[in-house]
Amino acid sequence: MSSDWNKTRLSELIEVKHGWAFKGEYIVEGLSKGPIVVAIGNFDYSGGFRFDYTRIKRYAGVYPKEYELNAEEILLAMTCQTAGGEILGIPGRIPNDGKLYLHNQRLGRVIIKDKNLVDDEFLYWLFISKNFKNHLFNTATGTKILHTSPERITSYEFYLPCINEQRLIGQLLKCFANKITSNCQANQTLEEITQAIFKSWFVDFEPVKAKIDAKANGQEPERAAMCAISGKSDDELDRLSTDQFSQLHATASLFPDELIDSEQGLIPKGWERTSIYTICDVIYGAPFKSKLFNNENIGVPLIRIRDLKNEVPGVYTDEIHSKGYMVTPGDLLVGMDGEFRPYLWGGENAWLNQRVCCFKAKEQYSTAFLIFTISPQLAHIEATETATTVIHLGKGDIDCFHCILPPVALISIFNNLANSLFEEIVVLKRESTSLAQLRDALLPKLLSGEIDLQQMAV
């Protein structure tokens, strides 16, 4: 550590302000417009917000304008509902997306006193650091639900480098974050492409409907289906190469030209409604003993529900359970308490804990076909399930899952398209995991001065 790193208390650099207690009767979920009330549930356990994957609640009442947040402002979670304090003090930056966000209670708004003394990007990563989290955990009140306060936050002491060193540290760590964000965005695009194909073929039956319309209008059904599949006009079909035209024609020929009644409504002729177990097996996590969990990397990582979003197991165990299942990258996992979302696992090999299950596609089918088949059914259960505290997904619910099964030849063509996209998703997830691990290894060394970026820059 350089001699110009000075021991500093956060209170010398920042203020932390409480949010406002927005009235519950005006907080509404499902609105498309209106200011967003930032909640503890919108935070990511590893830092930042996850508004794309959490419930968005908007405010329909009158509120003090001073609780409107500016883009790039930092908020800190001041309450954690787990005894381990995983999210206590976690920071998030308000997105610069043109939307209006409101400063809710139990969130600390960070106000920098003098930007010539401290860099906000450096501060963000300081809040991520293990030492800061340990300080908040050790000074928190409560047992099952932990609370911190502006006073406890600003009482944290650390060694502060000069402003130039702070900026170098902040920018380096931000580069890691930007690459991870870029990978996430690429994955979202790849998933949307795959989902669009699935929806067109197996939900909306667009090639089938195109054939039906073509027959009714005295046109060529196969060419109409080819247009629906490719998104090309009839004239553009003739400009395809011979191989491209042949492949597209072969795919179009697998779609029938008639819809028939079923329990599910109209479905293509020759397709059948069948149990979800026709296309997959479901593996349930084992009841590993919590008293054997550890944070010292002893044994094998264990995936709990809370680990699904970040794809980073929070605990290890050296227990070998007779019913244990080892999750590998590319497995499709679903949490069975609270919310029921399918996750394509991109983390390391790990045991599967109880209340998490794995949907394993059978040989002729793909994870992509499976994930888009079960997603709406999981969402329906989540929306309709009632409970006094936390909603639960049971085997009985999964036993009722079904799928509309097209011919194997058509599924094979979809698999060929989807598998390469999903394989790329897993590759990018693995890369992001490696980048996050490297960033986390560098963070304490950078904040302690063990790595001197100014010397390296010279």
pLDDT at 246: 97
Compute the distance between CA of residue 288 and CA of residue 212 in angstroms, rounded to an integer: 54
Domain with CATH 3.90.220.20 in the chain: 6-160, 277-407
**What is the average per-residue pLDDT within 93-117?**
97
Q: What percent of the chain stands above pLDDT 70? A: 98
Compute the distance between CA of residue 194 and CA of residue 368 in angstroms, rounded to an integer: 8
Q: Would you say how long the chain is, in residues?
A: 458
Compute the distance between CA of residue 230 and CA of residue 252 in angstroms, rounded to an integer: 10
**What is the average per-residue pLDDT within 110-136?**
97
Query: pTM for this structure?
Result: 0.89
* Helix, strand, coil percentages in the chain from 3-state DSSP, rounded to 5: 45, 20, 35
pLDDT tens per residue across span 259-289: 999 888 999 999 999 999 999 999 999 999 9
What is the CATH T-level fold of the domain 6-160, as seen in this structure? Adenine-n6-DNA-methyltransferase TaqI; Chain A, domain 2 (3.90.220)
90-94, 142-146, 238-242, 372-376, range with the lowest pLDDT: 142-146
What is the rounded radius of gyration, in angstroms, for the C-alpha atoms of the chain? 26
Is residue 239 over pLDDT 80? yes
**What is the average per-residue pLDDT within 250-260?**
97
pLDDT at 126: 98
Task: Report DSSP state, residue 428.
Answer: H
Angle at CA of residue 388, ends 384 and 394, nearest 5°: 55
Confidence of residue 2 (pLDDT cuts 50, 70, 90): low
Residue with tokens 């060929």: 416
pLDDT tens per residue across span 161-204: 999 999 999 999 999 999 999 999 999 999 999 999 999 999 99
pLDDT tens per residue across span 408-445: 999 999 999 999 999 999 999 999 999 999 999 999 99
In Å, what is the CA distance from 419 to each residue of 187, 271, 277? 13, 22, 20
Is residue 456 over pLDDT 80? no
Is residue 1 over pLDDT 70? no
Which residues have a Cβ under 8 Å from the Cβ of 196 and sit 6 or more positions away?
none
Q: Tell whether domain 277-407 is in CATH 3.30.450.40.
A: no
**What is the average per-residue pLDDT within 249-255?**
98
Q: Phi/psi of residue 354, each to 5°?
A: -60, 155
Compute the distance between CA of residue 11 and CA of residue 13 in angstroms, rounded to an integer: 5
How does the average pLDDT of the chain come out, rounded? 95
Residue pair 430/346 in contact (Cβ under 8 Å)? The answer is yes
Compute the distance between CA of residue 159 and CA of residue 167 in angstroms, rounded to an integer: 15
DSSP string, 382-400: HHH---SS--B--HHHHHT
pLDDT at 86: 85
**What is the average per-residue pLDDT within 237-263?**
96
Is residue 359 over pLDDT 60? yes
Is residue 388 over pLDDT 70? no
pLDDT at 283: 98
